[in-house]
Amino acid sequence: MANYDFVTSSGEKIPIIISVRRGLRNITLRPKTVENRRIEISRPWLSSDAAALRFVEQKRRWLERIFANAPQKKHLVSGDWFNFLDMRVRVIYSPEIRANRFEKQSDETYILYVGGDLGLLENRVRMFIKSELLVQIKKLIHDTPREFWPRRICLRDTSSRWGSCSTSGTISFSWRLAFAPFDVMRYVVMHELSHTQHMDHSPEFWATVRELYGFGVERAKRWLTQNGSKLHEYL
């Protein structure tokens, strides 16, 4: 594995991580804009790092656009607000409490009280969000016919996919769907459940999505396309 830097026109240095994979025919490039921003490259054994770096330069305009449009990560501090499935939530650090406390303030606003070590505030908020999202996803799944139920559900932090369904019956979701409107999250759930019956995007698959979701599928899908990058803003 070799490390280099991709310097953007704004002067940002983005690490390039090159790995060698036997059996690979072509150089593959994957920009990562969540967590630590980086460019991951896999190259064939008979290729060279120099060839990989030339390939990066050939894709410069595309890479510049991806990193320029990706939101810079914002750190949550006490007093900040964030959206959580149609709820407006404010984080308040309260060192005297041991467990998170979630309280309703009005029809749309809530307060999440977080205690413990202040340095672990973001981690405790993240754990709360994942736990609550999983509860909501399971409720949605259990409201569908049993033949759509997966064998296993897991949450991941993916940069390019909001959900996936494996042939083994495992469905994975990006936990960042918690920052989306509830109906958008529900669309992704119904999308992946439909894959338990159709492992493609055939007309039959989309008919199943519409049957499970109901009216508004295209609106939810469009929202995710237009606003999905914003879901990586925090944490």
163-192: pLDDT as tens digits: 999 999 999 999 999 999 999 999 999 999
Paired strand residues for 111 = 90, 103
Residue 2 has pLDDT above 60, yes or no: no
Residues with Cβ within 8 Å of 184's Cβ and at least 6 positions away in sequence, in order, are 177, 220, 223, 224
State the pLDDT at residue 229.
79
Are 100 and 211 in the same domain? yes
State the pLDDT at residue 35.
63
pLDDT (mean) for 41-67: 93
State the pLDDT at residue 37.
84
136-171: pLDDT as tens digits: 999 999 999 999 999 999 999 876 689 999 999 999
Q: Does residue 127 form part of some domain?
A: yes
More confident residue, 235 or 100: 100
Torsion angle in degrees (nearest 10) through CA of 34, 38, 39, 43: -110
Q: Does residue 75 form part of some domain?
A: no
pLDDT band at 55 (very low <50, low <70, confident <90, very high): very high
Alpha helices (runs of H) in 11-167, residue ranges in sequence order: 49-58, 60-69, 121-142
State the pLDDT at residue 233.
81
Q: Count up the domains in the chain and report the number.
A: 2
pTM exceeds cut of 0.85: no
Under 8 Å between Cβ of 47 and 27: yes
Q: Which of 69, 92, 117 is a domain's end point?
A: 69
Token couple for 102:
């979630």
What CATH code is carried by the domain that includes residue 122? Answer: 3.30.2010.10
Residue 195 has pLDDT above 60, yes or no: yes
Q: What percent of the chain has pLDDT over 90?
A: 72
State the pLDDT at residue 124.
94
Q: Which domain holds residue 125?
A: 81-232
66 three-state secondary structure: helix
Report how far residue 39's alpha carbon sits from residue 32's, in angstroms, rounded to the nearest whole number.
Answer: 6
Are 123 and 184 in the same domain? yes
In what helix (H) or strand (E) does residue 211 lie, and over which residues does it extend? helix 203-213
pLDDT band at 232 (very low <50, low <70, confident <90, very high): confident
pLDDT band at 85 (very low <50, low <70, confident <90, very high): very high
Amino acid identity, residue 127? M
